[in-house]
Amino acid sequence: MNTFEGCPGSKMQDLRKKEETKGDESGKRESQLGQWPIQLHLVSPMAPYYQKRDVLLSADCVAYTVGDFHKDYLKGKSIAIACPKLDEGQDVYVEKIKSLIDDAKINTLTVMTMQVPCCAGLVAIARQALESAKRKIPIKSIVVSLQGDILSEDWV
């Protein structure tokens, strides 16, 4: 395999399953998304679906990785997505999250990121926003492996 050995965040890995997956594939799962838009540059902290809610700030790749993302993490929450590695204008992100805390008075913030080092930038953005906000709220950081397992779940 000709892998690119530089940044671990872009390193190629073949994660195809050797056997058929054993999970239950019967039935249909409903989407748990209750809003649009979702991208952090596009959303407004003033939107009614953020007011006093539990908000999930998810790195873009997370939803493709965690099999039960909708059922286990999105359900019951409002969401914003971003990529701390590739997105431009990340100072705007800090301001937006600060406004979610101070103006939308969100109840909690859960930050879901991938295990790759550059993804931790999203937690840093959230932390920076919390430090500059007047209100204080609980922030939880959940880190996901490339295989879709939860590696850690900690209060920031």
Stretch that binds other proteins, among 4-12, 36-44, 81-89, 131-139 (CB under 8 A): 131-139
**Per CB under 8 A, does 54 bind other proteins?**
yes
Q: What are phi and psi of 101, to 5 degrees?
A: -75, -50
Are 100 and 44 in contact by the 8 Å Cβ rule? The answer is: no
Out of 9, 37, 48, 138, the only residue in the binding site for other proteins (CB under 8 A) is 138
Which residue, 7 or 156, is less far from other proteins as judged by CB?
Answer: 156
Which residue, 40 or 106, is less far from other proteins as judged by CB?
Answer: 106
Among residues 81, 63, 67, the alpha carbon closest in space to that of 21 is found at 67
Strand partners, 58: 81, 112
**Per CB under 8 A, does 107 bind other proteins?**
yes
**Per CB under 8 A, does 65 bind other proteins?**
no
**Per CB under 8 A, does 76 bind other proteins?**
yes
Q: What element of type H or E holds 141?
A: strand 139-144
**Per CB under 8 A, does 51 bind other proteins?**
no
Out of 90, 110, 113, 141, the only residue in the binding site for other proteins (CB under 8 A) is 110
Are 88 and 153 in contact by the 8 Å Cβ rule? The answer is: no
C-alpha–C-alpha distance, residues 60 and 40, integer Å = 10
Stretch that binds other proteins, among 28-36, 37-45, 105-113, 143-151 (CB under 8 A): 105-113
Give Cα separations from 2 to 13, 14, 116 (angstroms): 10, 11, 20
Number of residues near other proteins (by CB under 8 A): 13
Q: Where on the chain is the footprint of other proteins (CB under 8 A)?
A: 54, 76, 106-108, 110, 135-138, 140, 154-155
